[in-house]
């Protein structure tokens, strides 16, 4: 059932393209959260998905990961239907997704252990990844001994250590304070620059979407409401206003979209 | 000035001994009567006498073997079946009704069943001890599995882990804090039941010896038995607590 069962496809095969066609999502018995969505994520791009809470962006991410079956339509990875979770598509969560009984290093080793990498090699690679996210000194610490920002760095290292073909990020910095958040955004851009993976980055922070994404789509009640290609040369605030308009929000001094209750 | 916890605890035990000594040596009769009740010195002498003889150690060893066998079976089966019932709808539907019917029956009421089922007394007593400890472990495991945050399982699955991985890397470590609560309770109930079972149908053991002393009107002997049971129970529960704390040091609080 796992399309990464052979364990050799990762890393060398490179980024994957993901495609949703006429997809309806939602939990059984409840009203669908997403209806008839068409979306293509090109191989190797960083797609930022913005949208208000409840628009189904997290649900979409879970479906792309293979954790939630579609109710209608189909989702494919390089043309092959996604039927379940796989090491090919790592999911990064908002918080508390590290196994709390494993040290930072042993958390990062997890995808390597699952793939059967020998102990010494996975230890060495986990330490390299921790150094890459600036946590070389925290390898032996338990998650509870790390700050929120450090835990998200470990999560990022863990996701990338498995050399997935796609990284799906569900508001990974949503629980962090503004300053840590900014540092993490820059770290992410830097780390992703040399990772051969397709990235889907879900956020409700418009500035974050513009900073991290090669492309930004705004998810609305009837599918993709707007698409923006972030351009640093564009007049300040113009792209942000465009996204906010698609979100149906008034452009204000606060960059983040206000969460409806 | 702060008094060390150990000192307070020791003082509490000594205070109880002293109170006991005063009540019995003054032959207090205030509705409850202490005039025929053996005092701590008398009991201590009897304890000393028993410690010289081999019988005491044989009884203690017998009870400890029964407890550890029954408890180990209860821990393994309680955790395994608790996980199965909580994670598999099929296992839940098949097993849950049986457990719910069997659970309210006091383990000690199973003595007739044990006598019918098992060829030897020994197996019956271990069976009763097992049943007593099994349900607290089962129930706490089931609750702990249901309370596991789904995100850990999702994380392992999206890192390529299958069912076995999720069980070994998420479920078993994740339920430990809850399971140890059940193991602690189970150990306490196991002692109650092993002693009662020994009193009813044993040929050896701390419970049997205590009852034996009562039938020959040896009251100091009864109290030696009771104190022995109390100390052994404390020791084993303490061991469970210690192991539990060691294994769940990762917890936030």
pLDDT digit string (tens) for B68-119? Answer: 999 999 999 999 999 999 999 999 999 999 999 999 998 888 888 998 999 9
Q: How far apart are CA A10 and CA A24, in angstroms?
A: 29
Tokens standing for residue B42: 């008398």
Residue A237 pLDDT class (50, 70, 90 cuts): confident
Beta bridge partners of A228: A216
Predicted-complex ipTM score: 0.84
Kindly report the number of other CB atoms within 10 A of residue A218's CB atom.
Answer: 26
8 Å CB contact of A100 and B159 = no
Q: Is B151 exposed, middle or buried (0-12, 13-18, 19+ CB in 10 A)?
A: middle
What span, in angstroms and rounded, lies between the C-alpha atoms of A182 and A208? 8
Helix (H) or strand (E) holding B230: helix B219-247
Domain limits, chain A: 12-88+166-248, 99-163
According to the model, what pLDDT value does residue B253 have? 54
User: Is pLDDT above 70 for A252?
Assistant: no
- Burial label for B30, CB within 10 Å (0-12, 13-18, 19+), is exposed
Distance from CA of B154 to the nearest CA of A (A): 7
Going by C-alpha positions, the residue among B81, B80, B63 that lies closest to residue B128 is B63
Q: Tell me if A2 and B169 make a contact (CB, 8 A cut-off).
A: no
A213 touches chain B (CB under 8 A): no
Q: What is the mean pLDDT of residues A60-64?
A: 93
Nearest to A206 by CA among A178, A243, A181: A243
- Please tell me the CATH code under which domain B39-247 is placed: 1.10.3720.10
Q: Which two tokens stand for residue A191?
A: 């780390």
In chain A, DSSP finds a helix count (H) and a strand count (E) of 7, 10
pLDDT tens-place string over residues A183-228: 999 999 988 888 889 999 999 888 899 889 999 998 877 778 788 8
Taken in order B8, B14, B20, B21, the sign of the CA dihedral is negative
Q: Say if the Cβ atoms of B158 and A115 lie within 8 Å.
A: no
pLDDT, residue A249, reads: 58
Whether chain B has a CB inside 8 Å of the CB on A4: the answer is yes
Quote the pLDDT of residue A235.
Answer: 74
- The pLDDT score that the predictor gives to residue A3 is 42
Are A133 and A154 contacting, i.e. CB atoms less than 8 angstroms apart?
yes
Rounded to whole angstroms, the Cα distance separating A37 from A26 reads 12
Domain extents in chain B: 1-37, 39-247
Tell me whether residues B159 and A87 touch, CB distance under 8 A.
yes
Q: How far apart are CA A71 and CA A222, in angstroms?
A: 16
B155 touching A (Cβ < 8 Å): yes
Residues 6+ apart with CB under 8 A from B247: B176, B180
Q: Does A91 touch chain B (CB under 8 A)?
A: yes
Question: Is the Cβ pair A66, B250 closer than 8 Å?
Answer: no
Ranges of chain B with pLDDT below 50: none
State whether residue B252 is helix, strand or coil.
coil
Q: Is the separation of the CB atoms in B128 and B107 below 8 Å?
A: yes
Q: How far is B152 from B209, CA to CA, in rounded Å?
A: 51
Does the beta-carbon distance from A110 to B169 stay under 8 Å?
Answer: yes
Percent pLDDT > 70 in chain A is: 90
Among B149, B156, B162, the residue with its CB nearest the CB of A2 is B162
**Which residues of chain A are within 8 Å of residue B152 when distances are taken between CB atoms?**
97, 99
DSSP state, residue A116: T
Query: In this predicted model, which residue has the larger pLDDT, A229 or A151?
Result: A151
Nearest-by-Cβ selection for B151 from A89, A93, A168: A93
d(CA A91, CA A160): 10
Q: Rounded mean pLDDT of chain A? A: 85
- Among B149, B156, B162, beta carbon nearest to A96: B149
Please state, in angstroms and rounded to a whole number, the distance separating the CA atoms of residues B209 and B202. 9
CB contact under 8 A, B152 and A85: no
Percent of chain A at pLDDT above 90?
Answer: 54
> Would you call B170 an interface residue with chain A, using a CB distance cutoff of 8 Å?
yes
Interface test with A, best of B148, B152, B155 (most A CBs within 10 A): B155
Cα A51 versus chain centre, distance: 14
> Residue A1: exposed, middle, or buried by beta-carbon count in 10 A (0-12, 13-18, 19+)?
exposed
Burial-class residue A226 by CB neighbours within 10 Å (0-12, 13-18, 19+). Answer: middle
Contacting residues for A92 by C-beta, under 8 A, at least 6 apart? A152, A155, A156, A159, A167, A168, A169, A170, A172
Nearest CA to A76 out of A32, A34, A38, A44 is that of A38
Tens of pLDDT, residue by residue over A92-141, are 998 889 999 999 999 999 999 999 999 999 999 999 999 999 999 999 99
| Three-point CA angle B38, B39, B43, nearest 5° | 80
Predicted pLDDT of residue A224? 81
User: What homologous superfamily is domain A12-88+166-248 in, according to CATH?
Assistant: P-loop containing nucleotide triphosphate hydrolases (3.40.50.300)
Shortest CA gap A233–chain B (Å): 37
Q: How far apart are CA A26 and CA A69, in angstroms?
A: 9
Token pair 């029956």 is found at B105
């Amino acid at each position: 059932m796992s399309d990464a069962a052979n364990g050799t496809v990762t890393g060398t095969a490179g980024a994957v393209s993901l495609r949703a066609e006429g997809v309806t999502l939602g939990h059984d018995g409840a009203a669908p959260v997403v209806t008839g969505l068409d979306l293509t994520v090109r191989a190797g791009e960083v797609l930022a998905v913005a949208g208000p809470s409840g628009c189904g962006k997290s649900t979409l991410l879970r479906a792309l990961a293979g954790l939630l079956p579609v109710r209608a339509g189909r989702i494919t990875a390089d043309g092959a239907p996604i039927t379940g979770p796989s090491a090919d598509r790592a999911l990064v969560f908002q918080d508390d997704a590290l196994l709390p009984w494993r040290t930072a290093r042993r958390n990062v080793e997890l995808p390597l252990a699952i793939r059967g990498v020998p102990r010494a090699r996975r230890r060495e690679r986990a330490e390299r990844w921790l150094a890459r996210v600036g946590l070389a000194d925290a390898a032996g610490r338990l998650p509870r001994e790390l700050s929120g920002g450090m835990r998200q760095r470990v999560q990022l290292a863990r996701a990338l250590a498995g050399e997935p073909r796609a990284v799906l990020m569900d508001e990974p910095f949503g629980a962090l304070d503004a300053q840590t958040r900014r540092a993490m955004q820059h770290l992410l851009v830097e780390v992703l620059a040399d990772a051969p993976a397709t990235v889907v980055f879900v956020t409700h922070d418009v500035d974050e979407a513009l900073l991290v994404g090669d492309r930004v789509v705004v998810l609305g009640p009837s599918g993709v409401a707007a698409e923006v290609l972030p351009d640093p040369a564009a007049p300040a605030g113009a792209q942000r206003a465009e996204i906010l308009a698609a979100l149906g929000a008034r452009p204000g001094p606060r960059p983040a979209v206000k969460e409806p209750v | 000035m702060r008094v060390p916890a150990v000192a307070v605890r020791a003082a509490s035990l000594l205070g109880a001994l002293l109170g006991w000594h005063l009540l019995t040596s003054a032959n207090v009769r205030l509705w409850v009567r202490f005039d025929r009740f053996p005092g701590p010195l008398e009991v201590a002498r009897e304890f000393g006498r028993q410690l010289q003889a081999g019988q005491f150690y044989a009884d203690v060893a017998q009870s400890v073997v029964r407890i550890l066998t029954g408890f180990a079976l209860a821990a393994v089966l309680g955790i395994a079946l608790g996980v199965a019932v909580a994670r598999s709808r099929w296992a839940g539907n098949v097993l849950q009704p049986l457990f719910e019917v069997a659970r309210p029956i006091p383990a000690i009421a199973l003595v007739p069943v044990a006598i019918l089922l098992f060829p030897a007394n020994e197996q019956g007593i271990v069976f009763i001890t097992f049943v007593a400890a099994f349900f607290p472990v089962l129930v706490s495991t089931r609750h702990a599995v249901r309370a596991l945050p789904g995100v850990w399982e999702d994380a392992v699955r999206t890192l390529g882990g299958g069912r076995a991985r999720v069980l070994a890397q998420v479920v078993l470590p994740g339920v430990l804090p809850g399971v140890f609560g059940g193991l602690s309770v189970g150990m306490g109930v196991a002692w109650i039941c092993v002693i009662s079972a020994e009193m009813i149908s044993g040929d050896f053991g701390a419970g049997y010896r205590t009852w034996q002393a009562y039938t020959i009107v040896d009251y100091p002997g009864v109290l030696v038995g009771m104190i022995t049971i109390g100390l052994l129970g404390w020791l084993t529960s303490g061991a469970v607590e210690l192991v539990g704390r060691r294994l769940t040091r990762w917890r936030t609080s």
